[in-house]
Structure formats: structure tokens, C-alpha cells
Structure 1
């Protein structure tokens, strides 16, 4: 049996890293309604220029685009394992889980999985799924394994500014205003959705506190994954140095894709670790 792995563009890994890995684009929408596919054809500089000038929204993959990808893959594969971004951040999961389970041509062929993930979390799930496929596991079994594993990570997000998160509705205006007034950097917990966890006086102290929280909540873990939106190389180097000083090695390191940076803004860091 041949099985394809499909992600959406909240996944920020290298599509060439795994055999039979494909991606469907989410959408970035300008204030005037102009829509861009969030894919490898979207220029990074063009995107961040848009982000500097206006409030950007994001949208699910259109049904037409999604079904076109499903239909094409099913001409070459028997099953598709689809790993969308977290249901806590988008309706992408719910929309296409329902479609996969109600349309006869996709029943038992397309498996829309509840990852609770995005970015580096879904990079790890791609790795896990590729391993399970190599073990000859099939769609329903893989979907169950993902559901069991989707609470096995701890994650923290540290934004230098809350403006973009506030505009996108990912954090309340009250919390954003309070942080700005008190000149504090928030540490946001990520577990499929985003919630406030703690605060620090500087970005560097917030990173250190997030690493301490990982030590507390994922005892014995010595490896972390990081992703980040556009930031100065010197800032990223300081982050890497601090992570190493805290006794962690870095496994995955990648830049957040535009469809996620549209909500986090520039100079946002995410750190995750797996408990198992």
C-alpha cells in the first residue's frame, strides 16, 4: 500500500526531506481582499513588507484547492495522511475532517489527523508518520497514534511585541495593553491553542524563563526545537547561546512560515520539547 503525507503551509520544514511528502497552501489575505497562497512562491521580503504596512488575515485552504490535491494524490496513492495545523488555531482541521468522513470517494482513503500542532510540532509529526508508514501501519492506526501523541509536547511562544497577535485575535486586547503599559515580555503557552503563562522584564529573560518551564514540565528532556519569525542574526545567535547555556541541544531550527508570522509578527520565538 502506498501512503502520501500531506501538510498545509503552517508546516515550516523541508518538503524534500521525506519521501511522499506534499503540501497544500493556506491563504494570506490583504485588507483590500487581495489573496496570496502561502507557499514557496510567496517572496519573504514581499510578505514582511505587507505585514509592516497593514493588518493581514489568513484563511483556510479553499475546498477546490484541497480536493484537487486529494484527487491528484489518490491517483498515485492508496491513502493520504493529512496533518493540518491545530484545530485551536484554525477551522482547517474540522472542515476537512468532516469532508473526508462524509464524501464516499474519500472515506477510508483520506485521514485528517488531530495534531494540535503547527510549525516545528508538525515537523515532528511528519517524521513520526514517515516512521509509522515504514512499519507498515495504515491510515486509521496512524490517526489513532497521532491522537495519542498530540499532548506529548510542551511549547512556549515569546513575542517581542503583542501588536500582531492582538490584531489577529490570538490574545486579548486587555492582555496586550497591560503588557505594553508595564513594559513586560509575555511568555505564552502553546498546547494547540495559545494562552498566557508568565511574564519577564526582557526578551532574553523571557527565553530563559521558558526554558526553565520546559525543564519543569518535561523533566529530563535535553533537546528542544525552535522556530522564529524574521529577526536579526545577532538576536538568533543570542537565543541559541542561551539555550545551550541552559543545557539543551537544538534538534529542529526553522523560520516560521508567512501564514503563521502573519499572526505572531516579527521577532517571535517558539520553543517546544517532547516529553516522550
Structure 2
């Protein structure tokens, strides 16, 4: 049985040429004038940040016709397709393509996994899917394993600046101004959705608190995967030093996907536990 893997650009991989049987459908980025840009290999990081710094960008799902056209093309070469798409808690992407996958021509061939994932989470899921394919698992078996293994994963996000959240209307300017005066740094919880976890007085304290939470919640894992948007060297080095001081190791260290940076802005760090396949690391 030959199985393809389809990701969207929330995974952070845009050039799939270096991966076997991996294919991409981009999410869309919408400018203030309504023009849409595909978040694919043709949009460089430099171009994205110029756009992001100059205007309020919005994001939207992959174009359904493009995704279904990709499915049709892949099913000419593959028996089944595993889809690792952006978490349903962050987008309608999962629900849309889960619905389309139930149509007669795709049923039992297209498997849209409920990833609860984005960025480094999906990158780790990709590693596991590739392993399961090599072990001879079929699409339904892989879907069941993935949804069980990742249904309780919790990580944390620290936005160094609240500017982007203000621009997107997610918090008020008054609240952001007060937070800046008091040096309050929010800690957000990520479990497929984003919610408030805590707040601290400084970015350093926020990182220390997140590392403590990860050590407490995942005592069997000493590896942390990190996604980050562009930041200064001082902040980047501080994060690495705090991880080392906490007795933890860095696994993946990746740039945050554009479609997430649109909402969180520069200087954002996301911390996720590395889950070993076959072990439940949560309490």
C-alpha cells in the first residue's frame, strides 16, 4: 500500500522536495486591501515580515478546489492520503476538509486527522506518521493512533509584545498599555486552542514559569520543542540559557509559521513537550 502525506503551511514546511511522499497545500494570507497571498514557497520570510510590519494581515483556509484537486492527483499515484492540517481549535480547516473527505470518491482513501496541532506539533506528528507508514499501518490505523497520542498535549506560548494582539483586536489598547507599564507578560496555554494560563512581571519570569510547568506536567520528558518568530539575539540567547539552567534540552528549534505570526507578532515563543511514541507523558 502506498500512502501520501498532505500538510498545510501551518506546519512550517514549505519546500517538500526533501521529504518522501510529502505534499503541501498553502493556507492563505489576506492583505488589508483584500488581496490574497498563498503561504507557500514563493512567499519568503523576508517578504512576509515586510508585509506583517506594515499592515494587519488576516489568514484563511486553503482553497477547497485546490485541496480536492490535490487529492484527485495524489489518488492517481497513491492508495491513501493522510492529511495533517491546522488544529480545528484555530481554524475551520479541519472541519471543512473532514466533511469533503466523506464524499464517496474519497471515503476510506482520504484520512483527515484531528491533529490538535500547528507548527512544531505537526512536524513531530509528521515524523510519527512516516514511522507508522514504514511499519505497514494503513490510513485508518494511523488516524486512530495519531488522534489518541496527541489528544492531551499541552504547551505554552509567550508573546514578547502585545502589539500584534492589539492590532488584531484580541486585547484592548488600554489593557496592553497597562501591561506594558507594569511589565506584565502573558502566558498562553495551547492544547489545540489558545487560552490564558497566567501572567508574570517579565518575559524571563514567564519563560521560567513555562519550563516549570512542562517539567511538572511531563516528568518523563526532558526535551522541549520550540517555535519562535523573529526576535533579537539577546532574547533568543536568554531563552536557550534558561532551558539549559532548567536541566532541559532543545529538540526542534524552528521559525514559527507565517500564519501564526500574523496573530502573535514578533518575539513570540511557543514551548511544546516532545512526546515519545508509545509513552503517555501526561499525568
The TM-score range, normalised by the shorter chain, is over 0.9
| 1:19 is the counterpart of 2:10 | no
Q: 1:87 to 1:184 in 2, by over 3 A?
A: same
In the other structure, the counterpart of 2:45 is 44
Equivalence map 1:36-75=2 (5 Å): 36-75=37-76
How big is the shift at 1:16? 4.8
Equivalence map 1:84-103=2 (5 Å): 84-101=85-102, 103=103
Q: CA RMSD in A?
A: 1.7
Tell whether the 8 Å contact from 2:226 to 2:254 is kept in structure 1 after alignment. Answer: yes
Tell whether the 8 Å contact from 1:224 to 1:249 is kept in structure 2 after alignment. Answer: yes
Equivalence map 1:222-261=2 (5 Å): 222-261=222-261
1:151-210 per-position Cα deviation (integer Å, ceiling 9, x unaligned): 3422100001223234446x4448656534533001100000011111111112111111
Aligned partners of 2:175 and 2:141: how far apart in 1?
A: 41
Aligned partners of 1:247 and 1:71: how far apart in 2?
A: 48
- 3-state DSSP of counterpart to 1:188: strand
How big is the shift at 1:11? 0.4
Aligned partners of 2:18 and 2:190: how far apart in 1?
A: 26
For these two proteins, the number of residue pairs brought into alignment is 274
Q: Which moved more, 1:156-165 or 1:84-93?
A: 156-165
TM-score w.r.t. the length of structure 2 is: 0.91
How big is the shift at 1:12? 1.5
- 3-state DSSP of counterpart to 2:66: helix
Aligned partners of 1:179 and 1:189: how far apart in 2?
A: 18
Aligned partners of 1:179 and 1:192: how far apart in 2?
A: 26
Equivalence map 1:177-216=2 (5 Å): 179-180=179-180, 182-216=182-216
- 3-state DSSP of counterpart to 1:157: strand
How big is the shift at 1:146? 1.4
Tell whether the 8 Å contact from 2:115 to 2:147 is kept in structure 1 after alignment. Answer: yes
Q: Where has structure 1 moved over 6 Å in runs of 4 or more?
A: none
Q: 1:178 to 1:76 in 2, by over 3 A?
A: farther
- 3-state DSSP of counterpart to 1:216: helix
In the other structure, the counterpart of 1:108 is 108
1:128-164 per-position Cα deviation (integer Å, ceiling 9, x unaligned): 1111111111111111111111234221000012232
Aligned partners of 2:140 and 2:111: how far apart in 1?
A: 7
Q: 1:128 to 1:27 in 2, by over 3 A?
A: same
Equivalence map 1:132-147=2 (5 Å): 132-147=132-147
Aligned partners of 1:235 and 1:80: how far apart in 2?
A: 40
Which consecutive residues of structure 1, in runs of 5 or more, have no partner in the other structure?
none
- 3-state DSSP of counterpart to 1:67: helix
